Amino acid sequence: MPPVPNAAEIETAARFLLAGRLVAFPTETVYGLGANALDPEAVARIYAVKGRPPTSPLIVHVSSIDMAQSLVTRWPAIAHQLAQRFWPGPLTLVLEKQPMIPSIVTAGLPTAGLRMPSHPVALALIRAAELPLAAPSANRFTQLSPTTADHVRRSLGSDVDLILDGGPCEVGIESTVISLSGPQPVLLRPGGIARAEIEAIIGPITTTPEVAGAHPSPGMHARHYTPRTRLLLVKNGKVPQDGQGIYLQREHSPSRSDIAIIQMPSTAAEYATALYSKLHEADEAAHDWIAVDPPPTISEWEAIHDRLRRASVKK
């Protein structure tokens, strides 16, 4: 059984947040690096610890629809539909913010991304603090996202004030981000809820192009989710013939027999759960490269393709 922080640990973490300190905590997607979303100085510490550029906004985590509604200027019917269906869960809604959310949280934009996580530790922490929490992934900027408390420790070390260990994350990749701030819903980042599931509720959604300047959502930098080891997407198992590496195999066998293989799951949901964990495992081996057998190019794999594509961008 995974560890479960007790009530005393949750209360301690809440006091840390109220004092402007940083707390890493589990969500169903990845571990978050949390601070009081209404305290600009605390939020500035997140940016400093992560080495995150000011053009990349943070998601605000809430414990209820009522809390979310208090943070935005307008809560349209479509937001209510999606929140009723997918919250708590891995869906972030981008809406026009109230002035109480500092501009540092939103990269200076008038909109904020809001999410109600489904992990019981995350919800208990937000309720204990009685505050919305700004919380990007608890790792250095552009590096592999953490899905265990140990990943957080290895990435951030003593730069985080407290880590709540809630065991491995179940979803394993970040939330889907949908903007509802304009006339039409826009997919800003594919994630833990597939596009088709959302479109079944609200109809077709469009996809935003890459933008310069402040991003309307996290996860839009060209290079992101990267291991220290060079990551390659290979076709039909054709791995490099030079150096030593590790192959994340889903379907095709590698063209070399002298390399290590990590077998990946066959379904999109199971693959997503395993992805960052297996990439951390491969990265720790410190080889010359990590080669990935890409999954199918069908809609249910959209978020995984997004993560692999950005992780393979060269420095």
CB 172 within 8 A of CB 147: yes
Cβ atoms < 10 Å from Cβ of 148: 20
> How far is it, in rounded angstroms, from Cα 21 to Cα 10?
14
Q: For residue 90, is pLDDT > 90? A: yes
What do you get for the CA distance between the two ends of the chain, in Å?
A: 39
Q: For residue 209, is pLDDT > 80? A: no
276-293: average pLDDT: 95
Percent of the residues in the chain that have a pLDDT greater than 90, as a whole number: 90
Q: For residue 161, is pLDDT > 70? A: yes
> How far is it, in rounded angstroms, from Cα 176 to Cα 198?
10
Q: For residue 211, is pLDDT > 80? A: no
Given this model, what pLDDT does residue 216 score?
A: 84
Q: Tell which wins on pLDDT, 228 or 4.
A: 228
What's the token pair of residue 4?
């479960």
Given this model, what pLDDT does residue 30 score?
A: 98
Q: What is the DSSP letter of 137?
A: B
Residue among 284, 140, 300, 283 at smallest CA distance from 292: 283
Q: For residue 301, is pLDDT > 90? A: yes
127-152: average pLDDT: 97
CB 187 within 8 A of CB 207: yes
Given this model, what pLDDT does residue 2 score?
A: 59
Q: Tell which wins on pLDDT, 49 or 211.
A: 49
Q: Hey, where are the domains in the chain?
A: 7-207, 230-311
Given this model, what pLDDT does residue 264 score?
A: 97
Given this model, what pLDDT does residue 100 score?
A: 97
What is the biggest distance separating any 2 CA atoms in the chain, rounded to whole angstroms?
59
CATH class as words, domain 7-207: alpha beta
pTM recorded for the entire structure? 0.95
> How far is it, in rounded angstroms, from Cα 106 to Cα 109?
5
Q: At 210, is the pLDDT very low, low, confident or very high (cuts 50, 70, 90)?
A: low
CB 45 within 8 A of CB 23: no
97-116: average pLDDT: 97
What's the token pair of residue 193?
């809820």
Q: Tell which wins on pLDDT, 217 or 128.
A: 128
The total number of residues shown for the chain amounts to: 315
Q: Return the CA Rg of the chain.
A: 19
β partners of residue 32: 25, 137
Q: Which residue in this structure is represented by tokens 């701030």?
A: 181
Q: At 102, is the pLDDT very low, low, confident or very high (cuts 50, 70, 90)?
A: very high
Cβ atoms < 10 Å from Cβ of 77: 8
164-176: average pLDDT: 96
Average of per-residue pLDDT values in the chain: 95
Q: At 314, is the pLDDT very low, low, confident or very high (cuts 50, 70, 90)?
A: confident
DSSP alpha helix (H) spans, the chain: 7-18, 40-50, 65-70, 77-86, 120-129, 149-156, 195-202, 268-284, 302-311
Cα angle for residues 69, 166, 137 (degrees, 5° grid): 60
What's the token pair of residue 94?
């981008």
Q: At 1, is the pLDDT very low, low, confident or very high (cuts 50, 70, 90)?
A: low
Q: For residue 3, is pLDDT > 80? A: no
Q: For residue 232, is pLDDT > 80? A: yes
Given this model, what pLDDT does residue 290 score?
A: 97
> How far is it, in rounded angstroms, from Cα 73 to Cα 87?
20
Given this model, what pLDDT does residue 222 score?
A: 82
